[in-house]
Amino acid sequence: MTILQAAILGVVEGVTEYLPVSSTGHLLLAQRLMGIGQTAATREAADAYAVCIQLGAILAVVGLYFRRVRQMAEGCLGRNPEGLKLSANLIVAFLPAAVIGLTFEKVIKQYLFGIWPITVAWLVGGIVILVADRYLITPRQREVRGSSLAELTWKMALIIGFIQCLAMWPGTSRSLATILGGLLAGLTLGAAVEFSFLLGLITLSASTVLDAAKYGPDMIRLYGWLAPGIGLLVAALSAAMAVKWMVHYLQKHPLAVFGYYRIALALVTAAFLLK
C-alpha cells in the first residue's frame, strides 16, 4: 500500500463513516479498484486496515461532541443524571449488535463481504431513504432539539439497537440504520442524527479493538506503521468536515440526496460488474 492509497482510503472512511451511504461498502469498493487485499494472503490485513482507521472517525466525533462525551463521563461518575441516562441508553442500543455480531461474524464475512451484496444493499438502502424521507420524516422531526435525547427511554434505545444490526450487511450503512431507527423510535431528526454519532463511538470502538487484536500484527507486518497512521489522520480530518456538513445540511434539506446517490452508485457499480 502506497502513501497515496493510504490517504485515499482515509478520505473514503472519514467522509462516508457518518453519512448514510455505508463506509464499509465504499472502502471495499475502493480497495478493489486499487487492487488492495485481493489475495488470500493480504485480505485480512486489508480488512483490518479498513476497520482500524475508523479510530480517526471516532476521534473526530469525540472532538465535535466533546460536551456530550464529558456529560456522559460525568454521569458515569455520578455527577450528571442526564449524562448517566444517555450512557445507559447507548449501552442498551449497542448490546444487540454486540451479541448478534459476535455470533454471526464468520457467516457475515463469508457471504456478505462481496461487491454484489454491497451493490444490492446500496440500492435497497437508497429506496428506503426516499420512502422514509417522503412518509416518515415529519416537519416536527426535522426540528433540531438537543433536549430530545433526554426523553429517550431504554425501550426506544433497544429498538434503535436492533435496527442497527441491519448494518451488518455491508452497504446498508450503520448511520442510515441508526438514524431511521431513531426516527421510528420517535426522536426528532436532529436527535436521531446525534444519537447515531454517539452510538457510533461505542460500536466503532468495539469493532476497531476486536479487529486490531485479531489482525493488527498482520496489518503492521504488511503495511508498516506509516500507512495506518496516515489513514487514521486523514480519516479524522475528513470525518470532522463530513459531520459538520451533514448536521448543517439536514437542518434545511431532506435525506433524499443520499438516497439518489446510493441508487446511482448501485446502478453504476452493477453496470461495471456486468461488463
Q: What is the percentage of the chain residues whose pLDDT exceeds 90?
A: 34
58: pLDDT strictly greater than 60? yes
Q: Is residue 39 classed exposed, middle or buried when 0-12, 13-18 and 19+ CB atoms within 10 A define those classes? A: exposed
Give 68 or 212, the one with higher predicted confidence. 68
What span, in angstroms and rounded, lies between the C-alpha atoms of 71 and 68?
5
- Whether 18 and 61 have beta carbons less than 8 Å apart is answered as yes
What span, in angstroms and rounded, lies between the C-alpha atoms of 107 and 164?
18
Q: Is residue 154 classed exposed, middle or buried when 0-12, 13-18 and 19+ CB atoms within 10 A define those classes? A: middle
- Cell 497515496 belongs to which residue? 4
What span, in angstroms and rounded, lies between the C-alpha atoms of 171 and 26?
8
Q: Residues 206-209: contacts with CB within 8 Å, 24+ apart?
A: 206/94, 206/98, 207/51, 207/54, 207/101, 208/51, 208/52, 208/54, 208/55, 208/58
> Which of 239, 219, 215 minimizes the C-alpha distance to 229?
219
Q: 50-59, 132-141, 142-151: which has the highest mean pLDDT?
A: 50-59
What span, in angstroms and rounded, lies between the C-alpha atoms of 121 and 125?
6
- 147 pLDDT band, cuts 50/70/90, is very low
- In this structure, of 33-37, 197-201, 255-259, the range with the lowest mean pLDDT score is 33-37
Average per-residue pLDDT for the chain: 86
> Which of 161, 146, 159, 165 minimizes the C-alpha distance to 186?
159
Task: Report pLDDT digits (tens) over 107-141.
Answer: 887 777 788 899 999 999 999 999 988 877 655 55
9: pLDDT strictly greater than 60? yes
Task: Report pLDDT digits (tens) over 161-193.
Answer: 999 999 888 888 888 899 889 888 888 888 888
- Cell 485481493 belongs to which residue? 38
Work out the number of other CB atoms within 10 angstroms of the CB of residue 57. Answer: 30
Could you state, in order of their start, the residue ranges of all structural domains in the chain? 3-274
Q: Calculate mean pLDDT across residues 10-32.
A: 89
What span, in angstroms and rounded, lies between the C-alpha atoms of 162 and 95?
9
